[in-house]
């Protein structure tokens, strides 16, 4: 009888959890703001009365089972991809563990392990849109470019392929654990847009050697061009908007885009950074998102997530100048005009543009209804907003019209 009690006590506990990974301030900003061309930035309205910085996602706090060991390991994974695996070493004494860096819209399996013994298991259901990342150390403004929907509402950027943020050494270093976390989510290549003088200024007189990645990736001197996983020091690469037609900057954007294509073909996710992760990183991200078909308002908001997170001044007026330049080019839509810019200015061939879109975009499942009365939509429920087929909020709905019901969690 005592043996049976002991066996029962060793059975793992089943506990399921759910988490909206979006930071509350970020969530309000994304859902409440819709910019029109010429609007002033309102990002400061979202941080002026709130203390702290908004670098990080909402973390999931789970209860831990009792254990006689000091440290337990929590492993979160997806059934379909090794790249979705997240590993956390957590102190047992706290009784709880804080987990983060999930991709929204998925169901993870998790296990709490004490050596080889499973003490607890279950599912974690994630929701949200903006995937901010909590990376150990002082690195900041790290987030996934995934989750943004194209202007026509039919596709969205895939999570995990392009990650943007600050530098990972010198002024804003990640720890070894932080670098492990980035590698664990699939980062296999790095675009470092700091200038040589930045490297010298932020290294206490001992600049990192050119060609040496923070991650330890190899350089062009020892690796074939299509295998190079590090693009380093570009002397202010990508300073918009005054250099939209400058040969020097266009050449750098071409090199960076070709670097992205080469590494996507090698199935490497790419970490893009400068020092602060705002301007040079933001400008390159803007060009990539525009090419993928993200609309004007969302282009601005994605850029402004960095000044929101760092409580700094937005440079929306500069972005408006960039988009005004793009809008003068040929094309029926903003997406087409960005494509013209990539083809005729940056000199990217159409096959690479098509490949980039094919690996970076996925279809969004939409539900179209003909009778609005069937929706039973409450104006106070932000998870069940109704939009017209152009993605605009449908403030005046008519029975028999065609509308799109957008849920906060979009099923694959």
Q: What is the pLDDT of residues 187-220, one digit of tens each?
A: 998 988 887 676 666 655 555 555 567 787 766 5
Cis peptide, bond prior to residue 241, ω within 30 of zero? yes
Q: Which two tokens stand for residue 31?
A: 């859902």
Handedness of CA 397, 399, 402, 403 (dihedral sign): positive
Q: What percent of the chain has pLDDT over 70?
A: 76
The reported pLDDT for the residue numbered 174 is: 93
Q: How far apart are CA 329 and CA 326, in angstroms?
A: 6
Q: Is the pLDDT of residue 380 over 50?
A: no
What separation in angstroms does the CA of 224 have from each of 43, 220, 227, 262, 371? 44, 7, 5, 11, 58
Residue 113 pLDDT grade (very low, low, confident, very high; cuts 50, 70, 90)? very high
- 104 contact partners, CB below 8 Å, separation of at least 6: 20, 21, 22, 126, 127, 128, 129, 131, 147, 159, 409
The reported pLDDT for the residue numbered 201 is: 66
Q: Is the pLDDT of residue 395 over 60?
A: no
Mean pLDDT to the nearest integer, 61-83: 87
Mean pLDDT to the nearest integer, 128-154: 95
Average pLDDT, the chain: 83
Q: Is the pLDDT of residue 97 over 80?
A: yes
The reported pLDDT for the residue numbered 385 is: 47
- 123 contact partners, CB below 8 Å, separation of at least 6: 16, 17, 107, 108, 109, 110
Distance of CA 48 to the CA centre of its chain: 24
Q: How far apart are CA 219 and CA 229, in angstroms?
A: 7
> In a 3-state reduction of DSSP, which class is residue 330?
coil
* Crossing angle for the helix pair 296-310 and 316-327, to the nearest 10 degrees: 160
Q: Which two tokens stand for residue 326?
A: 């793009």
CB 306 within 8 A of CB 274: no
Q: How far apart are CA 350 and CA 110, in angstroms?
A: 42
Query: Which among 124, 131, 127 has a CA at the least distance from the CA of 99?
Result: 124
Helices (H), 2-136: 2-9, 24-32
What separation in angstroms does the CA of 358 have from each of 103, 201, 253, 355? 20, 40, 20, 5
The residue written with tokens 């002397």 in the block is 235
Query: Which among 62, 74, 55, 57 has a CA at the least distance from the CA of 18?
Result: 62
Q: Write out pLDDT tens, residues 212-258.
A: 677 877 665 555 556 677 776 666 555 666 788 888 888 889 989 99
Q: Is the pLDDT of residue 394 over 60?
A: no
Q: Which two tokens stand for residue 225?
A: 């061009």
The reported pLDDT for the residue numbered 213 is: 72
Mean pLDDT to the nearest integer, 104-110: 95
């Amino acid at each position: 009888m005592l043996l049976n009690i002991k066996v029962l006590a060793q059975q793992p506990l089943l506990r399921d959890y759910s988490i909206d990974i979006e930071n509350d301030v970020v969530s309000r900003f994304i859902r409440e703001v819709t910019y029109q061309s010429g609007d002033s930035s309102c990002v400061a309205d979202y941080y002026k009365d709130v203390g702290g910085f908004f670098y990080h996602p909402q973390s999931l706090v789970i209860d831990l089972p009792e254990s006689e060991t000091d440290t337990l390991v929590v492993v979160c994974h997806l059934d379909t991809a090794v790249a979705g695996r997240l590993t956390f070493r957590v102190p047992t004494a706290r009784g709880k563990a804080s987990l983060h860096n999930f991709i929204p819209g998925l169901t993870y399996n998790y296990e709490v392990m004490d050596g080889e013994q499973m003490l607890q298991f279950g599912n974690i259901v994630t929701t949200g849109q903006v995937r901010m990342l909590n990376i150990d150390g002082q690195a900041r403004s790290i987030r996934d470019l995934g989750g943004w929907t194209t202007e026509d509402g039919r596709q969205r950027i895939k999570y995990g392929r392009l990650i943007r943020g600050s530098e990972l050494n010198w002024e804003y270093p990640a720890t070894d654990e932080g670098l492990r976390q980035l590698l664990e989510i699939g980062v296999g290549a790095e675009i470092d847009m700091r200038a040589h003088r930045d490297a010298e200024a932020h290294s206490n007189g001992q600049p990192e050697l050119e060609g040496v990645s923070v991650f330890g990736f190899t350089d062009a001197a020892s690796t074939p061009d299509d295998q190079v996983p590090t693009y380093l020091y570009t002397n202010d690469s990508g300073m918009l908007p005054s250099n939209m037609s400058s040969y020097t900057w266009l050449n750098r954007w071409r090199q960076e885009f070709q670097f992205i294509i080469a590494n996507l073909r090698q199935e490497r996710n790419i970490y893009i950074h400068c020092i602060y992760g705002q301007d040079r990183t933001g400008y390159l991200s803007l060009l990539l998102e525009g090419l993928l078909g993200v609309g004007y308002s969302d282009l601005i908001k994605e850029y402004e997530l960095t000044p929101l997170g760092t409580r700094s001044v937005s440079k929306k007026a500069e972005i408006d100048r960039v988009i005004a330049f793009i809008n003068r080019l040929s094309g029926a839509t903003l997406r087409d005009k960005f494509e013209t810019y990539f083809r005729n200015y940056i000199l990217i061939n159409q096959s690479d543009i098509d490949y980039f879109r094919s690996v970076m975009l996925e279809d969004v499942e939409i539900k179209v209804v003909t009778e609005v009365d069937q929706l039973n939509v409450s104006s106070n429920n932000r998870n069940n907003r109704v939009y017209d087929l152009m993605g605009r909020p449908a403030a005046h709905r008519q029975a028999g019209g065609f509308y799109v019901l957008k849920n906060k969690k979009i099923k694959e």
